[in-house]
């Protein structure tokens, strides 16, 4: 039976979406992944582009509220931003809690290329972390 993982961030627009998709793509044989936000917003189009570059399609994804998952059980609750860790210190259905903060792609500024470079860097950091954190 696969272990269930819920990734949380503030808006479920970037970091948690990438983490959900990367865990599914890299270790989907052992983990079932989900993501949500404490204050769900809109999926970041730069994230969709950066994930497509590595063959992961997020075009049908949308931001979800953590309230959708309050009655579900998870083996891991993973906060990927400091705000989510602070606003969600306890999740009723989580057996283990992990916190690993990543830079917020929505805060990146500059040209299109500069923003994409920042999003790629965060994507790659999340990928590396998933490879080591989830065996």
pLDDT in tens, 105-134: 999 999 999 999 999 999 999 999 999 999
Q: Which CATH architecture has domain 3-133?
A: 3-Layer(aba) Sandwich (3.40)
Q: Let me know if 10 is a catalytic residue.
A: no
Confidence of residue 54 (pLDDT cuts 50, 70, 90): very high
Q: Let me know if 25 is a catalytic residue.
A: no
Given the residues 5, 8, 9, 84, the one annotated as active site: 9
Give domain limits for the chain: 3-133
Residue 86 has pLDDT above 70, yes or no: no
Residue 41 has pLDDT above 90, yes or no: yes
Other CB atoms within a 10 A radius of the CB of residue 16 amount to 31
Residue 102 has pLDDT above 70, yes or no: yes
Please give the pLDDT value at position 81: 85
Confidence of residue 88 (pLDDT cuts 50, 70, 90): low
Q: Let me know if 88 is a catalytic residue.
A: yes
């Amino acid at each position: 039976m696969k272990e269930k993982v819920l990734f949380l961030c503030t808006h479920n627009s970037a970091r948690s979406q990438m983490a959900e998709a990367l865990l599914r793509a890299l270790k989907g044989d052992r983990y079932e992944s989900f993501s949500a936000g404490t204050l769900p917003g809109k999926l970041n189009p730069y994230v969709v582009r950066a994930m497509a570059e590595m063959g992961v399609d997020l075009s049908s994804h949308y931001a979800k509220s953590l309230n959708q998952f309050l009655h579900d059980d998870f083996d891991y609750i993973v906060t990927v931003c400091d705000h989510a860790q602070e606003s969600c210190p306890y999740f009723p259905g989580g057996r283990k809690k992990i916190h690993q903060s990543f830079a917020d792609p929505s805060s990146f500024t500059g040209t299109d290329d500069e923003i994409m470079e920042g999003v790629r860097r965060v994507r790659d950091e999340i990928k590396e972390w998933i490879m080591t954190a989830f065996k």
